[in-house]
Amino acid sequence: MKLIVGLGNPGSDYSNTYHNIGFIAADKVAALFRAPDFVLDKKSNAYISDSNIYGQKVLLVKPNTYMNLSGDAVGFIARYYKIAPQDILVIYDDIDMPRGTVRARQSGSSGTHNGMRDIVAKLSSEGFARVRIGIGPKPNYMALADYVLSKMPAPWSNSVMDKACGLAAEFVEDWISGKPWQDLTKTVKIDT
């Protein structure tokens, strides 16, 4: 069994914000595999789409907690289904990478991302895969929290970030199928 988690904040106030790029990418993965609709699971406090992809059970998950408590849902699901860290992949935003850059890693630290810090703490492991989608750089005049919670402007969300989420979905497909991709980086071509 595989667990794929897209990180974000619940509620319409946060839709289409930079910090919700993990949710957007999870929706792309679900569309790619024609997965069932996400349904709220009250026990885990997460939206789950239960699929069969390449002959194995895959849970696509969007935690219904706020970002900083993402580990609550991920930890519960991992324990409940007895999913080992090496069978978990998390998709999330990264302020330290330029917009349009997508990086896949088999493991690593949480960096500056509070949602990832909580997942690492609740799983007691850094040994799970991750796909990071660059949302940086932050404008100098904005506080970090204000930037990540701001709405993506239409040209970016409709083109660059949409394509970046598509690349993330491709990385996820490779991971599920067992194709090696450790430490790969792809960048969306930005038309000027």
Tens-binned pLDDT, residue by residue, of the chain (192 aa): 999 999 999 999 999 999 999 999 999 999 999 999 999 999 999 999 999 999 999 999 999 999 999 999 999 999 999 999 999 999 999 999 998 889 998 888 877 789 999 999 999 999 999 999 999 999 999 999 999 999 998 876 668 888 899 999 999 999 999 887 666 777 775 543
Q: Is the dihedral of CA 61, 3, 71, 142 positive or negative?
A: negative
3-state secondary structure of 91: strand
Asked if the structure places residue 107 within a domain, the reply is: yes
In a domain, 150, yes or no: yes
Do the domain assignments include residue 116?
Answer: yes
Contact criterion met (CB below 8 Å) for 14 and 64 = no
Taking the C-alpha atoms of residue 100 and residue 85, their distance in angstroms, rounded to an integer, is: 27
The token pair that represents 27 in the structure block: 């929706």
d(CA 10, CA 19): 11
113 catalytically annotated:
no
Boundaries of domain holding 29:
2-187
Catalytic residue among 2, 3, 17, 19: 19
In angstroms, the CA 80 to CA 95 distance is 32
- Is 192 part of a structural domain of the chain? no
Does residue 91 sit within a domain?
yes
Q: What is the CATH number of the domain that holds 141?
A: 3.40.50.1470
Tell me the Ramachandran region of residue 45: left when phi exceeds 0, alpha when psi lies from -120 to 50, beta otherwise. Answer: left
Q: Look up residue 85 and give its two tokens.
A: 């860290």
Q: Which pLDDT score is estimated for 179? A: 85
For residue 4, what are its two tokens?
């794929």
Total domains in the fold of the chain: 1
pLDDT at 189: 57
Provide the pLDDT for residue 192. Answer: 36
pLDDT of residue 52: 94
CB atoms inside a 10 Å sphere around CB 57: 13
